[in-house]
A and B are shown apart, each in its own frame.
Chain A
Amino acid sequence: MFSKDILTGVILSVSGVWVAWQAQSFPTLGGMKFGPGLFPTIAGSGLAICGLLVLFTGIMSYVRAGETYPETENGTGFGSGKGIGSGQSEASLKPQLSGKAWINSIALILGVILFAAFLDTVGFHLLAFPLMACLLMLYGVNWWKSVLLAVGVTMLVHFLFYSFLHVPLPWGLLEPIAW
């Protein structure tokens, strides 16, 4: 928990400072103190202050918990090493992600990135079908069901969005056979 708060605090304050710092370069309204930079500055500095408070809370509870378990704590271990908490207090013992959960999540995110990156060039159908089939198989559906479902869902989306709602889903490489 506390290592999480420290990391959260750092990320929040760094992004807050960045937002506010960017805003300083925005032009001001003629003759007034206020301009497009005002709200980003407020949001950014607010975020930075909250980040510092979260960081402070995190460090406080880290220090206190450190008094209870002096040797087992590893100050640099937050972030990547989420799982080292053998000696951590109860609050920090949250269920950690298993290897399978990591693979499942990364596959999902990677799938979306590929989908977004190639949608316009490769086209909807050629992306949606393999995306569906791979994810379904990875998540434990057997292969022939996955393939059938992937075809079905791709066609369902095609009819619902392309034929029925007239959303111009890109055909990409299949442009010559578009219908």
Chain B
Amino acid sequence: MLTDVLMTVLAPENLLIIVLTTIYGCFIGAVPGLTATMAVALLVPFTFFLDPIPAISAIVATTTTAIFAGDISGTLLRIPGTPASAAYVDDAHTISQNGKPRTALLISLLTAAIGGVIGVIILMLVAPQLAHIAISFSSYETFWLACLGLSCAVFVGGGSVPKSFASLFIGLAIACVGIDVAVGYPRYTFGVDDLMDGITFIPAMIGIFAFSEVLRTVQTLKKNETQLQTITEPFFSALKGAMSAIRRFGVTVLRSSLIGTVVGALPGAGADIAAWICYALARRMSKKPDDFGKGSMDGIAAGGSANNAAISGAWTPALVFGIPGDSVTAIAIGVLLLKGMTPGPRIFIDQPELTSALFGSFLVANIMMVPVGMLAIFCSTYILKVPRAVMAPVILLFSLVGAYAISGSVTAIWIVLVLGLMGYLMAKVEIPLAPAILGIVLGKIIEDNFMVSIIKAQGNFLTFFDRSYSLVLGIVTVIIWALLIIRAVREMVAGGKRAGGEPQSGKTKATKSEEGAF
């Protein structure tokens, strides 16, 4: 079996796809405003024509490098390329201004690779074990699990409680469009045949993450883009500096990778939140907390490893339960479903070679990122010179044609437009996007399993707590709901006092950063 797995992972086509997507991810991630999720959403039409393993490899390679490449513009321009780089952008930029941009970038590149590899190793160890438990789940457990995923997204996603819940219900309402499972009644289709199957997921994601991003970009176009810094140090001394820094902050890297993986696995909390949490933690643990924000290599190591570990962590719930841990895995689940593979414990039991190959590709993608990333550090000034005025229309055309390619009908383009505007407006009024995305992905699962369960139980809701796992999952879900209600009441009380409108310090920062990528 091992040779089969190695053959699949190291097959020339697979390696070629990983190299190409690594370069692509690097480019998109480095351009400010273009997020990793957007890179993946635009890639989907191409993965559609690949086998499952190369398709997933492509998605993984794109995300890991895009998250690292976000540091390139963060370091050189002080504009985080993706929200995940926002936590430590001041540190990276300060080091860069002190004449050592390459050292800062190499630290984030190497810690990113370490974080990613640790995240994958945890995934390899944990996912199959979880799958063995999950295999015994019936419709009751699946229902509760999906509910738990949704509640978790509301809980950790940032934003006020009513707005997070509103986002969730928007997602659920969108998931209701189309033929219903129980009796086949068309809901909210307005007589459009293409809507019978529901809102197609990939065009929806392209709209929410690509179109709304393009719209934001064209609103902030400036005549003269920021001046690039050109002073730099020799590559090898930078590499030496980076290596010694990583050795010095090894503990930080390890801790951040572990925590990042766990945070990434929580539905609704992605790479950006992981980076913020680990950065704050590193600052608290540091002997020199005053350096943070003023060029602390410790901080870069913490954030840089945490965000890439989170990328890997997000795959655990996605592969085992079909519940995405972040927006990228939400898209990946969509891709797998298009290929007729339903993510879930069955894959681990029935096709272990497939999951092993998947993990192998994850590792290769994380390692491949190092040489490509170094190349990107060399060429960084050229990458950043591509004007956003050119990028915006090009990305627009690719997203429109991509959506059309997925479903072969113009309805997809309308979906891109409508949901794109919706996503844009939601971000404008500070409604978090994560719960809505999960609502769209999980809405059908929740409804299907609820209907099956309630028919089995002949309308008796208490049977939802009859089995041991479903009891535990149900109770945890109910506890989270209770906590959310308490938080909402607190917010209301505090909101009255805060009416003068002073900014909500740290929390708002995290919410803001998260707008683009989950």
Report which A residues bind B (CB closer than 8 A): 1-2, 4-5, 7-8, 12, 15-16, 19, 22-23, 26-27, 29, 32-36, 39-40, 42-44, 46-47, 50-51, 53-54, 57, 60-61, 63-65, 68, 89-92, 97, 100-101, 104-105, 108-109, 111-113, 115-116, 119-120, 124, 128, 131-132, 135-136, 139-141, 149, 153-154, 157, 161, 165, 167-169
Known contacts: A4-B429, A46-B165, A90-B501. The answer to whether A113 contacts B417 by CB under 8 A is: yes
Q: Are A105 and B219 in touch, CB under 8 angstroms?
A: yes
Q: Once bound together, how far apart are the Cα atoms of A111 and B215, in whole Å?
A: 12
The answer, among B183, B400, B413, for a CB contact under 8 Å with A36, is B183
Of chain A, the residue at the smallest CB distance from B459 is A32
In addition to A40-B188, A57-B492, A139-B218, 5 A-B residue pairs with Cβ atoms within 8 Å of each other are A16-B169, A47-B169, A60-B496, A105-B219, A112-B211
Tell me how far the C-beta of B206 lies from the nearest C-beta in chain A, rounded to whole angstroms: 12
Q: Once bound together, how far apart are the Cα atoms of A64 and B429, in whole Å?
A: 20
**Which chain A positions have C-beta within 8 A of B218?**
101, 104-105, 108, 139
Interface stretch, picked from B51-59, B108-116, B369-377, B391-399, is B391-399
Q: Once bound together, how far apart are the Cα atoms of A120 and B416, in whole Å?
A: 17
Q: Are A22 and B188 in touch, CB under 8 angstroms?
A: yes
Q: Are A167 and B401 in touch, CB under 8 angstroms?
A: yes
Known contacts: A12-B166, A61-B495. The answer to whether A136 contacts B397 by CB under 8 A is: no
Known contacts: A39-B172, A92-B501. The answer to whether A33 contacts B166 by CB under 8 A is: no
Of chain B, the residue at the smallest CB distance from A52 is B162
Known contacts: A161-B405, A169-B404. The answer to whether A8 contacts B431 by CB under 8 A is: yes
Known contacts: A4-B429, A33-B459, A112-B416. The answer to whether A47 contacts B170 by CB under 8 A is: yes
**Which chain B positions have C-beta within 8 A of A157?**
397-398, 401
Q: Are A34 and B451 in touch, CB under 8 angstroms?
A: yes
**Which chain B positions have C-beta within 8 A of A135?**
392-393, 396
Q: Once bound together, how far apart are the Cα atoms of A2 and B450, in whole Å?
A: 38
Q: Are A136 and B405 in touch, CB under 8 angstroms?
A: no
Of chain A, the residue at the smallest CB distance from B399 is A112
**Which chain A positions have C-beta within 8 A of B187?**
22-23, 26, 36, 40
Q: Are A54 and B163 in touch, CB under 8 angstroms?
A: yes
Q: Are A141 and B390 in touch, CB under 8 angstroms?
A: yes
Encode B381-423 as 1/0 by CB contact (under 8 A) with A: 0000001011011101110110011001010011011000100
Q: Are B500 and A105 in touch, CB under 8 angstroms?
A: no
Q: Tell yes or no: B2 within 8 A of A by CB.
A: no
Known contacts: A34-B459, A140-B221. The answer to whether A89 contacts B501 by CB under 8 A is: yes
The answer, among B404, B428, B496, for a CB contact under 8 Å with A64, is B496
Encode B481-505 as 1/0 by CB contact (under 8 A) with A: 0000000100010011011111100
Q: Once bound together, how far apart are the Cα atoms of A119 and B258, in whole Å?
A: 49
Tell me how far the C-beta of A150 lies from the nearest C-beta in chain B, rounded to whole angstroms: 8
Selected A-B contacts with CB under 8 Å, 10 pairs: A26-B180, A29-B455, A32-B455, A35-B185, A46-B169, A54-B160, A57-B162, A113-B417, A132-B393, A132-B394
Of chain A, the residue at the smallest CB distance from B172 is A43
The answer, among B162, B397, B400, for a CB contact under 8 Å with A50, is B162
Q: Are B389 and A141 in touch, CB under 8 angstroms?
A: yes
Encode B204-223 as 1/0 by CB contact (under 8 A) with A: 00000001001100111101
Known contacts: A29-B182, A40-B176. The answer to whether A108 contacts B396 by CB under 8 A is: yes
Tell me how far the C-beta of B426 lies from the nearest C-beta in chain A, rounded to whole angstroms: 9
Report which B residues bind A (CB closer than 8 A): 45-46, 48-49, 160, 162-163, 165-166, 168-170, 172-173, 176, 180, 182-183, 185, 187-188, 211, 214-215, 218-221, 223, 387, 389-390, 392-394, 396-398, 400-401, 404-405, 408, 410, 413-414, 416-417, 421, 428-429, 431, 443, 446-447, 450-451, 454-455, 459, 488, 492, 495-496, 498-503
Q: Are B410 and A116 in touch, CB under 8 angstroms?
A: yes
Q: Once bound together, how far apart are the Cα atoms of A131 and B401, in whole Å?
A: 13
Of chain B, the residue at the smallest CB distance from A150 is B393
The answer, among A46, A64, A112, A165, for a CB contact under 8 Å with B500, is A64
Q: Are B221 and A104 in touch, CB under 8 angstroms?
A: yes
Q: Are A149 and B396 in touch, CB under 8 angstroms?
A: no
Of chain B, the residue at the smallest CB distance from A160 is B46
**Which chain A positions have C-beta within 8 A of B451?**
34
Of chain A, the residue at the smallest CB distance from B391 is A139
Q: Are A161 and B45 in touch, CB under 8 angstroms?
A: yes
The answer, among B166, B182, B214, for a CB contact under 8 Å with A35, is B182
Tell me how far the C-beta of B205 lies from the nearest C-beta in chain A, rounded to whole angstroms: 16
Q: Once bound together, how far apart are the Cα atoms of A142 and B357, in whole Å?
A: 48
Q: Are A54 and B162 in touch, CB under 8 angstroms?
A: yes
Q: Are A57 and B495 in touch, CB under 8 angstroms?
A: yes
Q: Once bound together, how far apart are the Cα atoms of A26 and B189, in whole Å?
A: 13
Q: Are A139 and B221 in touch, CB under 8 angstroms?
A: yes
Q: Are A115 and B413 in touch, CB under 8 angstroms?
A: yes
Tell me how far the C-beta of B179 lies from the nearest C-beta in chain A, rounded to whole angstroms: 9
Q: Are A5 and B221 in touch, CB under 8 angstroms?
A: no
Q: Once bound together, how far apart are the Cα atoms of A19 and B417, in whole Å?
A: 21
Q: Are B183 and A27 in touch, CB under 8 angstroms?
A: yes
Of chain B, the residue at the smallest CB distance from A51 is B166
**Which chain A positions have C-beta within 8 A of B173?**
15, 19, 40, 43-44, 47
Known contacts: A39-B447, A140-B223. The answer to whether A91 contacts B503 by CB under 8 A is: yes
Q: Are A128 and B169 in touch, CB under 8 angstroms?
A: no
